[in-house]
A and B are shown apart, each in its own frame.
Chain A
Amino acid sequence: MIKVENIVKRYGRVTASNHLNCHFERGKVTVILGGSGSGKSTLLRQLTGLEKPDSGAVYFDGVDLTTLNKTKLYEARKKMGMLFQGSALFNYLNIFENIAFPLREHTQIADNIIKTIVTMKLEMVGLRGTEDLMPSQLSGGMMKRVGLARAMVMDPKVIFYDEPTSGLDPISTGVIGKLIMDLNKTLNITSIVVSHDIESCFKIADNIIILFYGDIIAMGTSEEIRNSSDLRVKQFINGEPEGPIPFQRTDKNYLDEILFD
């Protein structure tokens, strides 16, 4: 479905994507794991064409997104849905209009059919009856579910999730995780999830990619990752503070710095 070939992305001296190669299978849930600053959000932005890599190619359905002009990129985007970390609902529109927004913009569908579609999507995320509320009247978890309903209203082939469970309570986390799996199974939607939530990740993932400072350090099915013998992978999935992944960002010696600076 999506294939990444040798992409490089640098911000100043920081390399966010260091010659990455990976593949996202059709109809599977792939989770991109990594700590803060590991380049996982950057990778996601490049997969969607929101950002262009400095070099390399991103094939979406066989087309290289990095070579497309705006019109063609927008054409490809109609096959994508995205759930943003902060839900990114439009604060001046109510829930119904938020979900109906892509339909109104891109299709000539009649109002009564739009109403049916929006009701169906809201039912899928369990929020039927909230149509007339404004986004500010919902809780964070509910906003994410509305965001998800909006992401799938155009029946995309791929849905991208940016930190879908961060900042949510355990029940909302479970609900979102189940929704991702249900959508994936019933509609066969390819799902790409960026997360640092190990526990929910193993529940939903078919495949896992682990990033560390711009490099892929592990890639495989969730079973393979769980049984990996790589020390860095073990440290990451067990959340250990000590190990080959340094907690400190500086490589200067601590004693040197406090004694001789």
Chain B
Amino acid sequence: MEFQIAATLGRSTLNRVQILGRSGIFLLSSIYLAFFRPFRIYRLIKEIEFIGSKSFLIVFVTALFTGMVIGIQGYYSLSQFGAEAALGVMVALSIIRELGPVLCALMVTGRAGSAITAEIGIMKITDQFPALEMMAIDPMKYVISPKVIAGIICLPLLTAFFDLVGIGGGYLVGVKLLGVNEGAYIGKMITAVTFTDIYGGILKSLSFGVLITWISSFMGFAAEATTEGVSKATTNAVVITSLSILIVDYILTSLLL
């Protein structure tokens, strides 16, 4: 009995380690292959359009309301100490350091990550990968690489956009609605936000860009070749990506501070 439990445990551990290894090789080879001819610029632009420009609206709305909420919450907390003037600093730092990269990544995961897994899974069950192979085209390079590279390019840009809109949302509520001094909001923000804050945010968004495209592509690629397999993989991809984003966020924050 004990022996059996140990054997099952060992087998499942080995399986998991193997999947982890495979996914690592998957990521590295997709990035590596992007550096060789032919460069698929058109495919890359298509993916940037899908992951990046089509996420603009959702990122805009998320950022605006996040900024506005922090504006209200911050105002009431700070006014208890008579420190409303520091509202700009509070909004800017919380968005640039944490909320911008994380919320932006979570929104992109829900919108683009799930679609990536579904698309790749469907390509798999309809034999499109061997079809590419038979046409002498590397599916890794043709399908996966552009997605991963597009993720690396898009996420920092979307995050920068999120930061801008979020700070604007805080400004709207804080200055226009609640009457915080405009000069204090912007002036204090400019002196308090350092390059390290911005650099940390960008670094996070870069890693989230890799995480999102990597996990969603791999889940689609490794999905069981049935319709249930693909739908399961899509759900799993969103859950695993979201959790990984939060965990990696903690690790990066503790390293950066």
- A77-B133 contact, Cβ under 8 Å, with A70-B138, A91-B122: yes
Min distance, Cβ A187 to any Cβ of chain B, angstroms:
18
For A82, the closest partner residue in chain B by CB is B134
Interface centre among B122, B127, B137 (most CB of A within 10 A): B127
For B41-63 the 0/1 string (1 means CB < 8 A from A) is 00000000000000000000000
Q: Is A48 an interface residue (CB 8 A)?
A: yes
Q: Is B227 an interface residue (CB 8 A)?
A: no
User: Are A91 and B134 interface neighbours, CB within 8 A?
Assistant: no
Task: Give bound CA distance, A82 to B136, whole Å.
Answer: 11
- Within 32-75 of A, Cβ neighbours of B (below 8 Å) are at 45, 48, 50, 70, 74-75
Please classify the interface of chain A as helix (H, G, I), strand (E, B), loop, or mixed, using the class held by over half of its residues: mixed
Q: Is B21 an interface residue (CB 8 A)?
A: no
User: Are B127 and A86 interface neighbours, CB within 8 A?
Assistant: yes
For A156, the closest partner residue in chain B by CB is B134
The 4 closest A-B pairs by CB, nearest first: A88-B131, A74-B136, A88-B127, A77-B136
Q: A48-B134, A82-B130, A84-B131 are in contact. List 20 more A-B contacts (CB 8 A).
A: A45-B130, A70-B138, A74-B136, A77-B134, A77-B136, A84-B127, A84-B130, A86-B126, A88-B126, A88-B127, A88-B128, A90-B128, A91-B126, A91-B128, A101-B135, A102-B135, A105-B137, A106-B135, A154-B135, A160-B134
Chain B residues, Cβ within 8 Å of A84? 127, 130-131
Chain A residues, Cβ within 8 Å of B137? 74, 105
Q: Is A80 an interface residue (CB 8 A)?
A: yes
State how many residues of chain B have any CB contact under 8 Å with chain A.
Answer: 12
Min distance, Cβ A129 to any Cβ of chain B, angstroms:
24
Chain A residues, Cβ within 8 Å of B136? 74-75, 77-78, 102, 105-106
For A221-236 the 0/1 string (1 means CB < 8 A from B) is 0000000000000000
Chain B residues, Cβ within 8 Å of A75? 136
Q: Is A172 an interface residue (CB 8 A)?
A: no
Min distance, Cβ B33 to any Cβ of chain A, angstroms:
11
For B129-166 the 0/1 string (1 means CB < 8 A from A) is 01101111110000000000000000000000000000
- Within 101-137 of B, Cβ neighbours of A (below 8 Å) are at 122, 126-128, 130-131, 133-137
Cβ contacts A to B, 8 pairs, < 8 Å: A48-B134, A50-B130, A74-B136, A82-B134, A84-B131, A88-B126, A106-B135, A154-B135
Chain A residues, Cβ within 8 Å of B133? 50, 77
Q: Is A85 an interface residue (CB 8 A)?
A: yes
Chain B residues, Cβ within 8 Å of A82? 130-131, 134
For B122, the closest partner residue in chain A by CB is A91
Task: Give bound CA distance, A102 to B137, whole Å.
Answer: 9
Task: Give bound CA distance, A85 to B138, whole Å.
Answer: 21
For B128, the closest partner residue in chain A by CB is A88
Task: Give bound CA distance, A105 to B128, whole Å.
Answer: 16
User: Are A50 and B138 interface neighbours, CB within 8 A?
Assistant: no
Chain A residues, Cβ within 8 Å of B130? 45, 50, 82, 84, 88
Task: Give bound CA distance, A88 to B130, whole Å.
Answer: 9
User: Are A105 and B135 interface neighbours, CB within 8 A?
Assistant: yes
User: Are A50 and B134 interface neighbours, CB within 8 A?
Assistant: yes
Min distance, Cβ A161 to any Cβ of chain B, angstroms:
12
Chain B residues, Cβ within 8 Å of A160? 134
For B137, the closest partner residue in chain A by CB is A105
For A73, the closest partner residue in chain B by CB is B136
Task: Give bound CA distance, A160 to B127, whole Å.
Answer: 14
Min distance, Cβ B18 to any Cβ of chain A, angstroms:
16
For A80-119 the 0/1 string (1 means CB < 8 A from B) is 1110111010110000000001100110000000000000
Task: Give bound CA distance, A160 to B67, whole Å.
Answer: 59
Chain B residues, Cβ within 8 Å of A91? 122, 126, 128
Chain B residues, Cβ within 8 Å of A70? 138
